[in-house]
Chain A
Amino acid sequence: MAVIGPAAISRPVPRPDVPEKIGGSVPYIGDIRFPGMLYARTLRSSVPRARIAAIEIPSMPEGYFVVDKHDVPGKNGVHMLTDEQPFFAEDKVNYVGEPILLVAGPDREEIDRILKKIRVEYEEVPPVFCEEDSGNPDVPPLFGKHDLFCEYEIKRGTVEAEFEKAALIFEDEYRTGAQEHVYIEPQGMAGVFDGERVTVYGSMQCPYYVKTALVQGLGWEEDMIRVVQTTTGGAFGGKEEYPSLIAGHVAFAAIKTGRPVLLVFDRAEDVYSTTKRHPSRIRIRTTVDGNGAITAMDIDVALDGGAYVGLSPVVLQRAMFAATGVYRIPCVRVKGRVFATNSVPAGAFRGFGAPQAFFAVEMHMHSLAEKLKKDPLEFKRSYMLGRGDPTVTDGKIKETVPLPRMLDRLCALSGYDSKSRTFKKEGSSRGIGVSLFFHGCAFTGSGEKDKIKAKVLLKKQGDGSVSILVSSVEMGQGAQTTLRKIVAQTLGFDIGRVRYENPDTDRVPDSGPTVASRTVMIVGGLLARAAGRLKERMDETGEVEIEERYVQPPHIEWDQETFRGDAYPVYSWGANAVEVEVDPVTFEVSVTGVWGVYDVGTPIDERIVGGQIEGGISQGLGYATVEVLQQQKGRLLQKNLTDYIIPSSKEFPDPVYELYSSPYEYGPFGAKCAGELPFVGVAPALAAAVQNATGRPVRRLPVSPEYLFEAANDED
């Protein structure tokens, strides 16, 4: 392994986790066999909304068990922001796929036979499927009185006044669909009970979220519960909150049966019953004065949260905080709500509300420019935020915003200007589009300070090696490399001397969840500080342990009650260009070029950041084109990988990208956030390219051939 030179943190190093992955020797949860282990499978609701009138369970052969609501020792509620989602359905079900019980036993054929014999008697209740269903007197509310999980409003100035005097009001509505993560490793967990303590192993992003949920579900003391992450085959947010539910399942099963219990999802089961990206409907009304300048934006954000609250309030917040995009809008009102429906709960997914918001505002600015007969890119440029400008929450952009130079680079790389002109002249079916975007780094608002309160430990061992003790997980994004590099570089020695294993809550403190693109910036930042302190003490013999706790940088002012102030400590910035050709006969969209310029501060490893960019772009292009996920009466139409399409190796060309680095003072070596940013901007760039190619507004994701066909026909 290479020694990292002082100014070379960005230089790629071999990833320590890779050799055993390539050769197939590292075990994932589905590869682990515990002695005496039982398999488990879940019986799930087959209807979207019902009271469970009765469950007929056949007599169970010796060694086979049903595990259900009766076997929850503590509270039958999965702790996330609220506790209302039960581990096992109590007396009602609220979505197709909701877990009702597990069958556990030694032989999978027998489990299958038992499951087929179990009869659930449902008394169906009229379900809520869309926002309009609420208020229907025949449909009992699903949540509260109005089927709203949460509702917020933020404003700066008085939009009504602007509407009075506007020379032009431009209004449009944008919709985005659900999306499934399709981590190639399906969800899986195992529970082991030794008579005293329970240990849960599995594929997860947040060992301490899981532990907290188990403490509540078991009603036990914290030190009786241990959570161990196993090598995780992709997550993207889909293993942020969902694993807490199945951790409970395997824990309860292990206790009831007295044996280790392994629960690994079938892919179809994973597609139809686990969390999805929130579908959105966003309406934007913009007022323009006599000089063609924007005076106000009135934005209404509605997200479909599915059947349970989950993380919806935080997703909504991030969507609202991104609602005006990278633009300086003098007067703003953003109203947002998440409504409840009897469909699979929506949850975390790379971008976490921002992709939906950026799609809407980018398409809006594009279309508004067209309406004002201005070039969309020049129009957007004239509103770009700069240092000192107010954010939508009335905070201040504290750093220099590199967008103008990034946009210049993007145009140079992509040939945007000349292509734009050529494509327009040709009257061709080709188009090129640009998007501008940011990602607020780490937790929204005061989350890091008030909720997570991250703590890291750095331990010098007797043999001179240094151990990183954090709860952050490696899920492919390179944490095991980047965090080691930060420590090694600070201490000035070989990365091979830094140890970092899959987190085990018996050994590591809670440094927070592996989400929100916070791992390098926040956890890495704490490790850099710890390493700085450890450096002074490296000469001491024996073990030395350094603890470092999160301290909010002084420049952040935030009021969580009113959502006013600095929603994020810093932003990473991005610009994408996408070139397409739309087949005039079939309306299929071919992507012929993708470019990106990103400012993630100092990249801790250029190859790892590059991997996030390449993967994020692929996922984002999938979100924009082929990843159609539709629901009909609470049932997903695309329920397996044959029908839910993610990009293949032949789908898109390699992206061309550059990093533009404006280092962040409070990030390790100047790093900001990188994991989600590359996903956020690419769908709006593609949609803009299609809009340019077809001459018709694109208001929907995915931009499917079917959607374009209908749009073309509506016109005729």
Chain B
Amino acid sequence: MKIEFTLNNKPETVDTDPMRRLLDVLRDDFGLSGVKEGCGEGECGACSVLVNGEIVFSCITPVGTVEGCTILTIEGYRKTDRYRTLEKALEEAGGVQCGFCTPGFVLAAEALLRRNPHPSEDEIREGLSGNLCRCTGYSGIVEGIRAVAEREGLWAT
């Protein structure tokens, strides 16, 4: 099946089994290795990408369901000013240890902040609740996003 979508700001077409996992299409067909497989069952969030601005698990998304959608992976996002702000804040807050979960959390943060530029701590934790981290206990990640949320800036509407 031919499936068209915008990937990291570029229009793309794939002709493939529509039941293939979006994760495999992104990693194997497009070489986007920043999208990780941590569990393959929609539990850990290492595979998170933005589809039409919403955070989804690419490991349980059939590629056939993203026809006409806009997809953003960490590779596309890391070129933005918003990324650089989050990167600095997460680093300073000690929110990165082994790094495997981190791109997923970055995209979850983007999805949260674009909806809610000044989330409370509860709202931050809720927004991240689909991402698992085993190294940090979440403290550094939440703190980094809170630091970004408290400032005026790139997400202000």
Which A residues are closer than 8 A to B by beta carbons?
Answer: 12, 14-15, 17-19, 21-28, 30-31, 181-186, 231-236, 266-268, 475-478, 607-608, 610-611, 614-619, 640-642, 646-650, 652, 654-655
Contacts and interface: CB of A to CB of B under 8 A. Distances in A.
A661 B110 CA distance: 39
A313 B97 CA distance: 31
Nearest to B33: A31
A64 B41 CA distance: 28
Nearest to B101: A184
B98 A232 contact: yes
Contact of A649 (B44, B129, B135): B129
A15 B40 CA distance: 30
Interface in B74-90: 74-75, 78, 83, 86-87, 90
Most A CB contacts (10 A, CB to CB) among B39, B83, B87 go to B39
Contact of B91 (A15, A181, A236): A15
Given A15-B96, A28-B100, A611-B94, A23 B83 contact: yes
Chain B residues touching A, range: 35 or more
Nearest to A236: B134
B134 A640 contact: no
Given A234-B100, A477-B97, A641-B44, A655 B137 contact: yes
Given A28-B100, A650-B125, A611 B78 contact: no
Interface stretch (B2-10, B61-69, B138-146, B149-157): B138-146
Contact of A267 (B41, B83, B99): B41
A639 B128 CA distance: 24
A646 B73 CA distance: 26
B132 interface: yes
Nearest to A23: B78
Centre residue among A21, A478, A617 by max chain B CB count within 10 A: A21
A183 B97 CA distance: 12
Contacts of A640: 39, 41, 43
Given A476-B99, A615-B97, A24 B131 contact: no
B135 A615 contact: yes
Given A233-B99, A234-B134, A477-B97, A184 B33 contact: no
Contact of B39 (A12, A267, A655): A267
A22 B99 contact: yes
A224 to B, nearest CB: 31
B139 A655 contact: yes
User: Which 6 pairs, one residue from A and one from B, show the smallest C-beta to C-beta distance?
Assistant: A24-B34, A21-B99, A476-B98, A233-B100, A618-B137, A476-B97
Contacts of B106: 22
B102 A642 contact: no
Contacts of B86: 22
Contact of B34 (A23, A182, A233, A478): A23
B103 interface: yes
A205 to B, nearest CB: 12
A625 B87 CA distance: 32
A646 B134 contact: yes
Contact of B98 (A14, A30, A234, A607): A234
A184 B142 contact: no
Contacts of A24: 33-36, 73-75, 78, 102-103
A27 B34 CA distance: 8
Given A24-B78, A31-B33, A640-B43, 20 more contacts: A14-B91, A15-B91, A18-B96, A19-B91, A21-B99, A23-B103, A181-B134, A231-B99, A233-B100, A234-B98, A234-B135, A235-B98, A477-B135, A614-B137, A618-B137, A618-B138, A646-B132, A649-B129, A654-B139, A654-B142
Contacts of B131: 649
B129 A186 contact: no
B126 interface: yes
Contacts of B129: 648-650
A30 B28 CA distance: 11
A184 B44 contact: yes
Interface in B22-43: 33-41, 43
A25 to B, nearest CB: 7
Given A24-B78, A641-B43, A182 B134 contact: yes
Contacts of A183: 98, 100, 134
Interface in B85-126: 86-87, 90-91, 94, 96-103, 106, 125-126
A14 B73 CA distance: 25
Contacts of B78: 22-25
Nearest to A185: B100
Nearest to B143: A654
B14 to A, nearest CB: 18
B91 A184 contact: no
Contacts of A477: 97, 135
24 contacts: A19-B91, A24-B34, A24-B74, A24-B75, A182-B132, A183-B134, A184-B44, A184-B134, A185-B38, A231-B99, A233-B100, A267-B41, A475-B98, A610-B94, A611-B94, A611-B97, A614-B136, A614-B137, A618-B137, A619-B134, A640-B39, A646-B132, A649-B138, A654-B139
Nearest to B75: A24
Max chain B CB contacts within 10 Å: which of A181, A475, A478, A650?
Answer: A650
A231 B33 CA distance: 14
Nearest to B103: A24
Contacts of B96: 15, 18, 21-22
A297 to B, nearest CB: 33
A649 B36 contact: no
Nearest to B141: A649
A234 B87 CA distance: 20
Contacts of B73: 24
Contacts of A21: 96, 98-99, 102
A334 B125 CA distance: 44
Nearest to B100: A233
A267 B34 CA distance: 18
Given A184-B132, A185-B100, A617 B75 contact: no
B105 to A, nearest CB: 9
B56 interface: no
A303 B35 CA distance: 39
A184 B46 contact: yes
